[in-house]
Chains A and B, each alone.
Chain A
Amino acid sequence: MSSALRGIWDNVVGLVIEDSQLAIGIVAALTITWLLGAAVESLHETVGWLLLAMLILVLLVNLVVTARRAKRRIA
């Protein structure tokens, strides 16, 4: 039973965190969006697009780092 519960817990955590670098990047982008939205009123219209841009950047950087790591492994 405990192994089943551990499996469920691992799965729940794994739902959102598979690659910790990606998860940290996403949380950082969300925090920056929240802070900017709260502090700079002129950004209210564009804060969503800013978040989108940051997330795309986080994803692309993560993919490139992963590909480079893979390339080193097969070299």
Chain B
Amino acid sequence: MDFGLALATAALPAFAASAVEFVEALTIVLAVGVTRGWRAPLIGTFAALLTLAVIIATLGVAIVTIVPELLLKAIVGALLLLFGLRWLRKAILRFAGIVAIHDEELIYQRELAELRAQGLQRTEFDRIGAIVAYKAVLLEGTEVAFIVIAFGANGAHALNAAIVGAIAAGIFVLALGVALRQPLTMIPENWLKFGVGAILSAFGVFWFTEGLGFAWPGDALSLLVLLAIFLGVSFIAVRMLRWMLPSGANVEARNV
């Protein structure tokens, strides 16, 4: 796999997908840092990043090097479809107003209130702050690990490119968070989820079919056609749901 292909099919999708997850983790870490000081949440964050690095290094490398290529493509394709269509479904429902848009500001304020209510003894190490940050980064990071392994399943070059993409996303989101010291509400999270959901689904169809031993016309170029079809159908689906439920915006957040 050459550099350009690895960039397009592993690094960029991994960057976009990981950025969404890092934004969600940053919201929690910021809330902890602002209310309880920065030392504990930073230790929690670094511990979680270390855990994730171990998961990716062991699981990712083992899967990519041990499992036969076609079987790996079929398994990863199936997982990407389960994961990608789930994201796409949620983004469509959010655009249609049936599920509430993910509100980083609201989550941030809620987290601030909860953490302040728990109080803090300044003489001790803030275990709660460290654990909350660790859990937030680890839980959101599990998705990042999954994304990296999935996009890196096409070989060592792809795995390296996906890791670089995810690390770049982490640095980008962290730098923005440090600079602004507030939740990154300006990042169009649902648009990212919508786009990445379609990308993951397109890769899923492509790889599952290749894993079964069938080639696509134009090879990797057919990914663009698959992506265009998923995006087109999703736009139509949003319009269809808005037509079905004109008051969709009032339905949101009812655990649909």
Contacts and interface: CB of A to CB of B under 8 A. Distances in A.
Given A17-B82, A66-B98, A69-B256, A48 B214 contact: yes
Nearest to B211: A34
Interface string B109-152: 00000000000000000000001001100110011001000000
Nearest to B135: A4
B167 interface: no
**Size range of the chain A interface in the assembly:** 35 or more
A55 B88 contact: no
Interface residues of B, number: 47
Nearest to A62: B89
A31 to B, nearest CB: 10
A32 B134 CA distance: 42
B93 A63 contact: yes
B89 A63 contact: yes
Interface in B223-256: 226, 229-230, 233, 237, 240-241, 244-245, 247-248, 250-251, 254, 256
A67 B237 CA distance: 11
Contacts of A34: 212
A62 to B, nearest CB: 6
A33 B237 contact: no
B85 interface: yes
Main secondary structure of the interface of B (DSSP, over half): helix
Given A11-B142, A18-B86, A60-B237, A70 B135 contact: no
B135 A7 contact: yes
A68 B248 CA distance: 11
Contacts of B86: 15-19, 22-23
Chain B CB count within 10 A is highest, among A7, A37, A58, A60, for A60
A67 B98 contact: yes
A23 B256 contact: no
Given A7-B135, A47-B212, A15 B146 contact: yes
28 contacts: A7-B139, A8-B138, A11-B139, A11-B142, A15-B82, A16-B86, A18-B89, A30-B78, A30-B81, A33-B208, A33-B212, A37-B213, A37-B214, A47-B209, A48-B205, A48-B216, A48-B222, A51-B208, A52-B229, A55-B205, A60-B240, A64-B244, A66-B93, A67-B241, A67-B245, A67-B248, A70-B251, A71-B244
